[in-house]
Structure 1
Amino acid sequence: MSDFRAIDKEFDKKYIWHPYTSMLNPLPSYGVTHTDQNKLYLDTGEVLIDGMASWWSAIHGYNHPKLVSAITQQAQTMSHVMFGGITHAPAVELCKKLVAITPEPLNRVFLADSGSVSVEVAIKMALQYWISKGNTQKNKLMTAQKGYHGDTFAAMSVCDPVNSMHSMYQGFLPEHVFVNAPRAKFGGPVDLAELEQLEQAFHTHHHEVAAFIIEPIVQNAGGMNFYNPTYLTKLRELCDKYDVLLILDEIATGFGRTGKLFACEHANISPDIMCIGKALTGGTMTLSATLTTEKVAIGISEGGAGVLMHGPTFMGNPLACAVANASIDLLIETNWLQQITRINQAMSALKRCEALDEVVDVRTLGAIGVVEIDKNVDVAKIQRFFVKQGIWVRPFGKLIYIMPPYITPTEDIERLANAIYQAIEQQQY
């Protein structure tokens, strides 16, 4: 059912601050009246194939009856209740599911309310673990360049120090240890030199490093870097050798996006702390979780404050937990791997772009497709073109990429790929 209320776009343009845009010359905002399956319906009549899955979260598409039913039924009994001193079935059920589907030995779950906050919680866990152990020297994090972990302050401090917001807030953000971004490509040869450099960084800094944080296999908003699983294998080995915790940010990569339920499974490793979000509720509402091991959880609880110093107001929100339960069930029931395999095969249509002079690289993994060009995209210009072509794709930097809902028909993937080709060929960027 569409929302027939008129959208006051002049008010929107003048007074509403949208993400990553200026109030003086804002990027255009297109009015959406309703959604259905993998489509966005605009107030101007256009129907757009969604190539973004609402920033990678709506893996089942929109208005899925099972997700709508979960929200509706839960709203009739309890929409929210504080999680301090109270528990409820949706949260308990969700945590059971998360422990069951994530790699062992992750078995302690902290529910938060956004991906960025789950990273904040992970960082607090790592720092507080060492404080509880009586080690106050381990007060920094180590991370790779090209990373992105969220927009809140601690999360920003471990984003790429050049190609992110990090440089703007120098002097306010904590300073951490950065190593080179992984170079060896997914599916390519191992780079022994970079693994040696990684070990050297651990040898030099391990005494001051509480944890190493990275997005497994795919560094997403920092450049869509698909890297070799051997890097993760080595990272796990080094964290164990040098007594450093490993935090894996699976917010974008979790729940099947890379062709594994969680991307760390490509390397057959498990972190000490894992962050998940985005697709957790099937793109219906905000919810995240930070999972850790008994070692870390008990370590924090045994010393210092004895409690983890974090407690979001909407922690364990029953509505969000109920729909997350439904989303996880749906993911398993609908054979997510078969869906991802089909989408990846359909994304081969992007390879056509390799023939264009402006294209630097075309790469796909799971349900992620990326076309890298030789200059930064004019987002407003290319989105006008895409809307005319009946698709919704929002590039950034030099990257035109798609992460569609898993239900997207093959022919719609091909339409997304063809529109990207046309945009580059006709220089509509």
Structure 2
Amino acid sequence: MSGTQAQQRGTWFQRFLLPAFAMKGVIIGGGYATGRELTEYFLSQGPVGGLLAMLVATILWSVVAALTFAFAHAVGAYDYRTFMDRLLGRGAIIFELCYVLFSVLLLAVFGAAAGEIGQSLFGLPNVVGTLALAALIAVIAGLGESAVEMMFKFISPILYAVYAIFLILAISRFGDRIAESFAAGIVGPQWPVLGATYGIYNIVTAIMILPVLRHITSRRNAVIAGAIAGPLAMAPALAFTVAMVAFYPIILNETLPSDFLLQRINSPAFRIVFQLMVMGALLESGVGVIHALNERAANLYARRHDAAMPHRWFRPVTTICVLAACMFVANAIGLVTLIASGYRLMALIFLLSFVLPLLTIGSARIFRRNAAPTSHDDMPRASLQPPR
């Protein structure tokens, strides 16, 4: 096998874990990292009801991610517009409009969360945290694909380790309260709906991380990577939710449940470590969103100009423009309102424009005998060119 082929085939990590880490990276941002989404969609249904809702969301993530990765491999689609063109044809424009709006919403949530963390941890004005996050996203996303993959590779293990320590500390400090809350057996009536809602609007992240699927070499690789993406993406949420159960139901009213818990754990050093980890999670998420938009722009540029886009200036300029246009929506609307209102509408939109077509049209194409995977040599090269 030649050096080029080896690079395209990728390592075991790139084929199986990188897609899961990338999907987790985008999902965890904003409310998930701060705990706000988890209280809104899971813990609001009680401790036991929250776990049932999480199970629904996890199964949805694994099934839809496996189908998404397999379809992308089968048709050679590694940016979201090409993927939707293959799936919906002319109807792809409907998805793209919704997708861009969702990206704006996500970046606004990330900006709001970063501002809240900066204010809570260091007493800084909200705009400072938002600006710091925007600058870091612009640097990494502007450097291109290799920098994005390197970020997921190194930040993800740190994130899992911090969440594991967080759960251990929570159990050691107030494990009896956690046990009592679970023993009460509270199950809200909306857990199936909220679990499905959370699962559906978040699974669109499987589309956002398509650029990192270029290393997958077979349908089997794609299905395995998708199947393990669900549990790996939900694992930090499970640890976080179990810890929050100790203070159910008063924690439901907290804008930053993470900081609420950290203050009660009463470890100033770990509080700083955890909040810095949350900023790292927001960075992962923001870079994932921007990278997907950059890859779409790169593909469009390559088609129109029959050449790779000029990496030195195109990616940074695109990144800065997108961030400037949407991250400061956060300061005007607020984190809680963004999560409670915007996400439910997006769940319905993506159910109709992505999940249902994938489960029907996409599944039929994946398992059709003549659905041969497209060669890497036939793919657009725009995003694979090294920076100049």
Bigger proportion of residues as helix: 2
RCO higher in 1 or 2 (8 Å CA, sep ≥ 6)? 2
**Greater C-alpha radius of gyration:** 1
Bigger proportion of residues as strand: 1
Alignment TM-score > 0.5, same fold: no
TM-score (norm 2): 0.21
TM-score (norm 1): 0.20
